[in-house]
Amino acid sequence: EEQKGNLLPKIASGELRLQAFGVSEPNSGTDTLSLETLARPSADGSGWLVTGQKMWTSRAEHSDLMLLLARTGAAGTPRAKALSTFLVDMQAAKADGTMTIRPIDAMINHSTCEVFFDEVRVPRDCLVGSAGDGLKNVLSGMNAERILIAAECIGDGRFFIDRAVNYAKSRKVFGRP
C-alpha cells in the first residue's frame, strides 16, 4: 500500500513513466519459469542485486521504472514460487552504469530493447508483493497488457486506413483523380 501511495499519483500524472515490463529472456523463450535473471539479497540487507538480461522489453528507452520478473528462489524451490517481481528505477541504474539498454530493430508500433543488468541495486521496499509471487503478479498484468496492445493495434489500423484513403482520394494517375 505504501508503494501505491508513493508511486501511483506520480505515474498517473505523468511525472514518472512506468512503461517497461521485463519478462522475456534470450534463453527461456516462452517458458517464463525458466528465466535466468537473478535477484539475490544484498550483503547489507538493504535490498537486492539483479544480474541478467531481458529481451523484447517494450519502451525501455522511454520509461523511468520497470516491472521486472527475476529468480529469487533457492535451488529446489518449486519453479512457480521461485520468481519475484520488482520495481526497478531505470534512471538510477543507467546513471550508475549497472543497466545497459540496446534498441532492437523490429517492425512493430513501439520501441523494443534488450536490457542488461549488472548488479543493479533494488531497494528492499521495491519488491512487489511477496517474494515468490512473481509469476502470479506477471500473469495478472499480462492479461491487461494484451488488451492494451490489442487496442493499440486497432488504433494503428484505423490510422493507416484513414491515411491510405486520403492518399487514394488525392492521388492523380495519368492526370486524373
Positions marked catalytic: 145
DSSP string, 21-85: EE---TTTTT-GGG---EEEE-TTSSEEEEEEEEEEEETGGG-SEEEEEEE-PPTTS-GGGSEEE
Residue pointed to by grid coordinates 505515474: 11
Q: Which long-range contacts (CB under 8 A, 24 or more apart) does 101-105 make?
A: 101/60, 101/61, 103/61, 104/55, 104/56
